[in-house]
DNA sequence: CAAAGATACCTAGAACTTCTAGGTATTGCA
DNA sequence: TGCAATACCTAGAAGTTCTAGGTATCTTTG
């Protein structure tokens, strides 16, 4: 939220898919999860995350459903089979990409 | 040219600065250099590279001058002092970023 | 108990980068 | 001679992320 993460451009899908790999979660919790995993470095704005989740869902990589706790509504997202496949693919691509960057930039 | 490199989004400046680190070069040669260093993976379109070079120059990170070989004109780019500083900074940021990605995505 | 802050969702439009798809001109090679 | 490679350039499209708002509920604190 406070610190935008421009470097993530193009890799945000991967980050969100990875954050969902261990089980369903709702948007706000994903932001926390990613902030924790990155030790505070990836501090995503809600306005960044929600549209990406919709895009991933409309692409068939996620499904969502509303859950209610008291009067509090949450939209839970979970990976589809295709989403899991895509995650594996993007992890591989990231690995490739970061190794290439090392070679190019070093 | 043939294979766009979307993953580079946000890191192209670094790649170009790094390609210029070992000495001046012109745009077309930079594209070759980057393709070689990346073993063919980063195959940039000219229409991608030239505007970035202008942006870097207008930001004071590069200077350029025309050279002529026969009737062939080439615009040679070289890093400025500020460009070199920026390169060091961006290399550090990349390292940080890629380590964070490893933690988040793994 | 009132106010503030955290939780949780959402959206429209701006900003920015990169890509697409052209264009020109010179040089070398078949 | 014609084609590919070299070498530059540009306008506009496309796409992602950010900014800057908005609503509502729940919890903590003064």
3-state secondary structure chain B: CCCCCHHHCCCHHHHHHHHCCCCCEEHHHHHHHHHHHCCCCCCCCHHHHHHHHHHHHHCCCEEEEEEEECCEEEEEEEECHHHHHHHHHHHHHHHHHHHHHHHHHC
Domain harbouring A12, CATH code: 1.10.10.10
Partners of A106 on chain B (C-beta within 8 Å) are: 18
pLDDT at A33 over 60: yes
Percent of chain A with pLDDT over 70: 93
Q: Which pLDDT score is estimated for A26?
A: 96
Domain assignment of residue B1, yes or no: no
pLDDT at B5: 58
pLDDT digits (tens, 9 = 90+) for B2-23: 344 566 778 999 999 999 999 9
Measured between CB atoms, which of B15, B38, B104 is closest to A18?
B104
Residue in A with minimal Cα distance to B14: A105
Instruction: Tell me, yes or no, if B101 comes closer than 8 A to chain A by beta carbon.
Output: yes
Given an 8 Å threshold on Cβ–Cβ distance, is A105 in contact with B96? no
Residue B33 covered by a domain: yes
Phi-psi sector, A88: left (phi>0), alpha (psi -120 to 50), beta? alpha
Averaged pLDDT, B40-48: 93
The residue among A8 and A59 whose pLDDT is bigger is A59
- Within a domain: A1: no
pLDDT at A84 over 90: yes
Query: How close, in Å, is residue B66 to chain A by CA atoms?
Result: 26
Interface membership of B84 toward A (CB under 8 Å): no
Residue A70 resides in a domain = yes
Nucleic strand C near CB of residue B70 (< 7 Å): yes
The range of the structural domain enclosing residue A98 comes to: 6-105
Residue B26 lies in a domain: yes
What mean pLDDT is predicted for residues B100-105? 95
- Assess if residue A90 is contained within a domain: yes
Contacts of B101 in chain A (CB under 8 A): 11, 15, 94, 98
**Considering only alpha carbons, which residue of chain B is nearest residue A21?**
B105
Q: For residue B40, is it within any domain?
A: yes
A97 Cβ within 7 A of any nucleic strand C atom: no
* SS3 state of residue A27: helix
Q: Is residue A47 part of a domain?
A: yes
Inter-chain touch A100–B9, beta carbons under 8 Å: no
Total domains in the fold of chain B: 1
């Amino acid at each position: 939220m406070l610190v935008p993460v421009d470097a993530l451009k193009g890799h945000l899908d991967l980050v969100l898919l990875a954050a969902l790999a261990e089980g369903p979660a709702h948007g706000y919790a994903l932001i926390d999860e990613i902030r924790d995993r990155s030790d505070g470095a990836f501090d995503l704005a809600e306005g960044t995350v929600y549209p990406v989740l919709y895009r991933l869902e409309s692409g068939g990589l996620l499904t969502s459903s509303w859950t209610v706790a008291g009067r509090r509504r949450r939209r839970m997202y979970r990976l589809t089979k295709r989403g899991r496949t895509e995650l594996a693919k993007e992890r591989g691509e990231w690995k490739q990409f970061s190794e290439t960057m090392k070679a190019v930039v070093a």
